[in-house]
Every structure is written in C-alpha cells, then in structure tokens.
Amino acid sequence: MPAACESVLEDIEDIVSAEDLKPRDRQFVRKNVFPKVRKRNSQKNVQADDEPPSDSIIPGVQKIWIRTWGCSHNNSDGEYMAGQLAAYGYKITDDSAEADLWLLNSCTVKNPAEDHFRNSIKKAQEGKKKVVLAGCVPQAQPRQEYLKGLSIIGVQQIDRVVEVVEETIKGHSVRLLGQKKDNGKRLGGARLDLPKIRKNPLIEIISINTGCLNACTYCKTKHARGDLASYSIEELVDRAKQSFQEGVCEIWLTSEDTGAYGRDIGTDLPTLLWKLVEVIPEGAMLRLGMTNPPYILEHLEEMAKILNHPRVYAFLHIPVQSASDSVLMDMKREYCVADFKQVVDFLKEKVPGITIATDIICGFPGETDEDFQETMKLVELYRFPSLFINQFYPRPGTPAAKMPQVPAAVKKQRTKDLSQLFHSYNPYDHKVGERQRVLVTEESFDSNYYVAHNPFYEQVLVPKDPLLMGKMVEVNIYEAGKHFMKGQPVSDARVHTASITRPLAKGEVSGLTEEFRRAPQNGTNWKAQPSAEIPEKTQLSSWMALQLPWQQEGGGLKILSVSLALLAVLVMFYYGGMKTEL
C-alpha cells in the first residue's frame, strides 16, 4: 500500500485541520452577523403578476374585439379573421372593454375613416390593450408614425391572423404585408374556404377579385389592394355552394371593381355570373357589387340578361364621380360622361325598373362652378334613388393631394347643394299600393322592423315576425319614405324558404369543412383545449415557419413527428447522464 493510504480516517471530523474554526468559534462569529433586510417593491411585484413572461402565456384563450371600417370587401376580410380566431379557440366579443386584444380593420378611402382608426389605436393603448392592425391603412402606409411598434396583418395575409395575434399577445410586434403568389403570379388573396363568422348569418359576402386596373388620382385604396387579381370561377362557385349549405339566402359579390373581374385570368364577369346563377336555390338572391363604366360597356347585352334573372337583383352600382369630362380626365377615370349615360340608358331600357346607384365627389381639385353644375344636371336627369355624396378629401401620397385645391368652404357648399337636390325628390312614392316580392334578411337599426329587399334591391320594412326572417314573401306597399318603403305581408301568399338548411346561429363559425373538423384527429390541435391537454397544442414562437391546418396539408403529422423526435433525444440525454453518474 502507498504511504498516502496508510493513515485511516476514524471519523469525518478528522479531516478538520488545526487552523479551522472550532464549533464554539463558529457560534461566536454567527452572533456578530446581522442580516440586511431589503424592502420589497410591492408595486413591481404586482405588475409582474399581472404581466407574466411571454413564454408562460397560453394562446387561444383570450377575448378579442374586432372593429371594421369601410366597404363590403373589408367586412368580408373581417369576417374571415374572426372565423379563424374563433376556430382556434379565441372568444370574439362585442364588448371592447373586456377584450384582451383589439383587432382594428381599417379603411383608407376617406380622412374621417382613418381618423376614427387612429383614435381607436390611441384608445386601445390608453386602455392597455394589445393591438393588431389590418385593412388598407397600414397596408398602404405601414411606416406612419402612429403605427410604429404595432403588429400589422396585410390585406392578402388574413389567413395568418392567428399567428399575428398569438405573437402580439406574447408581447411581440409582427408585420405580414406580403402578396399571395403562385409561380410568380399574384393571387386574389387568401383561400375562400377559410373559417368565417358572418356578421349576418343569412348574407355571404364573396370577394371575386382584389385590386383594379385603374390609377385614379384621388384613390388611396390602390396603394393597398394593388393591381387586379381574380379568383377562379371554380373557387367562387364552390364558395357560393358552401354558403347555401350553411343557410345563407343572399350573396353579395364584392371587389374594388367587379366589372374588371377575370381580365387577368382569361375570363369575364358575365361568364362567372352565369355559373353562379346555376347554383342559387329558389328563394335566394344574388347582388352584384360596384363596377366602373369602362368595363361594363363591353358586356352590356349579357349584363342586361343576367340582371333580368329572377334570382339576381336588378341593381347595379356604377360610380360616375363627376359629370364634367375635364374633371374626369384629371381624376384619370378612363371614361367620359357619355359612356356613363350609355350604360345607364341601355340598362334602364333592357332591365325595366332597375336601380342604378352612383357616387359623386364634390370639390375635386380644379372643379369649377360650371363643372359642378353639370353634375347637378345629371342628378336631376336620372334622379338616382341611391346616391353617395362625398366631399373631396386629399389623401396623402395621391396625385390629387398635390393639385391646387378647391377652397374648403366651396367644397362644403357644393356638398350641401347636391344633398339638397337629392333630398328634393322621393323615388318610391309611385310604388305605394303595389304588391311586391321581398326577401327578409336583417333587422332595422331602430329594431322596430325587419328589413327586406324587393327584386330591385329597394329597401322594404316589414313587421318583426320571426317567421319571416330568411323567407321570401309577398307584401302590399302602404307607405314610402326617401330611402325605404313599408310593406304588410299578404296572408294568402306563398312563402319561399330560400335556405337549403338551417342558418348558422349568430357568431357561429362557418366554413368548418371536413378538413378542419378532421384536423384535431390528425394530431394538429388548432383549437384551444382545456389546460390538461395544453401539451398537445402547437407552440407559435417560430411563427414564420408555422402554418395552420388550413394553410398546410399534413402539418399536424409533421409537428407530431418532430415533437416525438425531440422527446426521444431528451430521454436519451437524461438516461445517458444517469449512467455517467453511476
């Protein structure tokens, strides 16, 4: 044995040297140690409890308030975003105060709409709410000062709203503003079969294309929506079929310019409409959205035939904007007043009773008194039953904003004069006493009536009888106002039930096709589960790479495989470490 091993320790205390402190000395030293007491920052601790670390937040259980401004296209986007969030497990609430996050879906057409949007952002921040921005304002100008540090979901990226919301709830700022493309070709946008919550379960809004072919000098929407990109006819027909199977009885076709539909994919609007009317059930109706004069001119004959179809409203929204050719030229509208009159005159002749709605801008830069009087004469000539009057607002970044402006007082007076002319006539007085067929789809703003529309998409108020909702009935018109008529249902008339099936309940998620219903069974938990099942839930910290079930086929199996592989590695390291210690 080596010498070092000759001495044997009888006790563990034998290893204490003579220089070490004895137990009594240690006790003496301990008495002279005075602990320093630190004051706790109670406020800081409370704040820490209120705002846990981002990795401890469970996504998919928060309440979200959604506010949408603007056109029906924007409303459709809002419905899709609500549907995806609800399908994932978030609660969509009508109470902004109780919401954890505000999703603000903006409109960039007019200054007042953007002002409301900006004020809502400020209010959300003051209320310590998480904020996600959507719509045309942030898409067109994402670098505006008041948008800094906020999450943005682009108009073509709405199928990724769940990812953006989850990252925002975790305290991150996310911006997705790219375009949807297929082999380099721009697409119409996100898929049409995404989950959706319809604001009105009886009305489906279908965007047939995004963007347009024009370059109007006053328009900011072009900066956000871009050039024309159309959905295929097959996609649109499938969406219409799905809607009718979910109890919808009225479809609105929308876009920035429906008349331009299909020019980018080798088809046209009449071809789409003929395919759609084939799948509309009895008692249901189709409403066509806004179209600019240049593109409808090419299809007048076919459009007249379609607008005479019994399941298509004899209604068309054709913005004229001004009756002065010089103003139209400055606007770069690509038509003259004669073109607009040709469209209106032809349709009025071929589609008896048709409703033509139009838009007019008052006080566009360079508009003279003579120009404005031409516009007044046009309104007096046609007495449009539906007229959207807009005082000109220069939108930042548009050519019109750099033009010499009409004085504000003049713009205001012209708007007032045109409004007075519009309210000087009653378009429905001659219809009192008529018997009309109407489709009942919603409740009036004052909640005193149900709102229906006759074949010309004229508004008819009917009694609030729950049996009428979603039905096509006959009524006797007994009163007329500026914007509506009132009708009494005819007792012996036949009632048409348009819906193939029971309509979805208000707030119920539509578009949950078999693919989405099957997703949880395939290992992808896209809807929030109780806390005991949270480990199954996909983590979205790597949101750039992740796609939800409606974005990637087989995504759930891939995630499950990766998870199992990681688990195996951890187990191997654990047991390997134990063997090393032993």
- Pick the more confident residue, 464 or 553: 464
Instruction: Dump pLDDT digits (tens) for 94-109.
Output: 999 999 999 999 998 8
Question: Would you state the pLDDT for residue 7?
Answer: 44
Whether pLDDT at 517 is above 60: no
Residue 392: exposed, middle, or buried by beta-carbon count in 10 A (0-12, 13-18, 19+)?
Answer: buried
In this prediction, residue 6 carries a pLDDT of 45
- How do residues 277-309 score in pLDDT, each as one tens digit? 999 999 999 999 999 999 899 899 999 999 999
482-508: buried (b, 16+ CB within 10 Å) or exposed (e) per residue? eebbbbebeeeeeebebbbeebbeeee
| pLDDT tens, residue by residue, 312-337 | 999 999 999 999 999 999 999 999 99
Task: Please spell the DSSP secondary structure of 303-370, one letter per residue.
Answer: HHHHHTSTTB-SEEE---B-S-HHHHHHHT-S--HHHHHHHHHHHHHHSTT-EEEEEEEES-TT--HH
**Once rounded to an integer, what is the mean pLDDT over residues 158-177?**
93
pLDDT for 178 beyond 80: yes
- Return the higher-pLDDT residue of 358 and 215: 358
The answer to whether 493 and 437 are in contact (CB under 8 A) is: no
Question: Over 80: is that where the pLDDT of 553 sits?
Answer: no
In this prediction, residue 561 carries a pLDDT of 58
Per-residue CA distances from 205 to 154, 181, 192, 253, 565 (Å): 19, 23, 11, 6, 44
**pLDDT of 446 higher than 70:** yes
Confidence class for position 59, pLDDT limits 50, 70, 90: confident
Q: Give residue 53's pLDDT.
A: 57
Of 67, 131, 58, 66, nearest to 89 by C-alpha is 58
Residue 404 DSSP label: P
Give the number of residues written for the chain: 582
User: Considering the chain, what is the average pLDDT of its residues?
Assistant: 84
**Which residues on neighbouring strands pair with residue 251, listed in sequence order?**
204, 286
Q: Is the pLDDT of residue 374 over 80?
A: yes
Residue range 441-467: mean pLDDT, rounded: 96
Residue 34's alpha-carbon distances to 37, 39, 40, 391, in angstroms, are: 9, 16, 19, 77
Residue 188 confidence (pLDDT): 74
Amino acid 564: pLDDT: 66
Q: State CA 181 to chain mean position distance.
A: 20
Instruction: Tell me the mean pLDDT in the region 473-492.
Output: 96
Question: How high is the pLDDT of residue 423?
Answer: 97
pLDDT level of residue 502 (50, 70, 90 thresholds)? confident
Please report which confidence band the pLDDT of residue 22 belongs to, taking 50, 70 and 90 as the band edges. Answer: low
Residue 112: its pLDDT value, please?
86
- Written as six digits, the tokens of 3 are 């010498």
Residue 367, number of CB atoms within 10 A of its CB: 24
Beta bridge partners of 356: 316
Per the CB < 8 A criterion, the answer to whether 222 and 255 are in contact is: no
3-class state of residue 115 by DSSP: helix
Most confident of 126-130, 535-539, 547-551: 126-130
Residue 57: what pLDDT? Answer: 73
> For residue 243, what pLDDT is reported?
95
The predicted structure's pLDDT at residue 520: 40
Q: Which residue has the higher pLDDT, 10 or 112?
A: 112
Tell me, what's the pLDDT at 563? 60
Quickly state the pLDDT bin for 527 (edges 50, 70, 90).
very low
State residue 497's pLDDT score.
Answer: 81
Range in 34-48, 149-163, 557-571 with the lowest mean pLDDT: 34-48
Q: Which residues pair with 486 in a beta bridge?
A: 461, 479
Give the pLDDT score at 206.
96
Stronger pLDDT, 541 or 227, i.e. the higher one: 227
Full-model pTM = 0.79
Q: Phi and psi at residue 139, in whole multiples of 5°? A: -65, -40
CA distance 257 to 263: 11
- At 576 the pLDDT is 58
Q: What secondary structure letter does DSSP report for 182? A: E
- pLDDT of 569: 59
Report the range of poorest mean pLDDT among 34-38, 257-261, 411-415.
34-38
pLDDT of residue 92: 96
Give the pLDDT score at 277. 97
pLDDT at 10 over 80: no
% the chain with pLDDT above 90: 66
Spatial separation of the C-alpha atoms in residues 215 and 246, rounded to whole Å: 38
Domains in the chain, CATH or no CATH each = 63-178 (3.40.50.12160), 185-425 (3.80.30.20), 430-497 (2.40.50.140)
Is residue 310's pLDDT more than 80?
yes
Task: Provide the token pair at 389.
Answer: 């009057």
Read off φ and ψ for residue 127, nearest 5 degrees: -90, 10
Q: Return the higher-pLDDT residue of 25 and 335.
A: 335
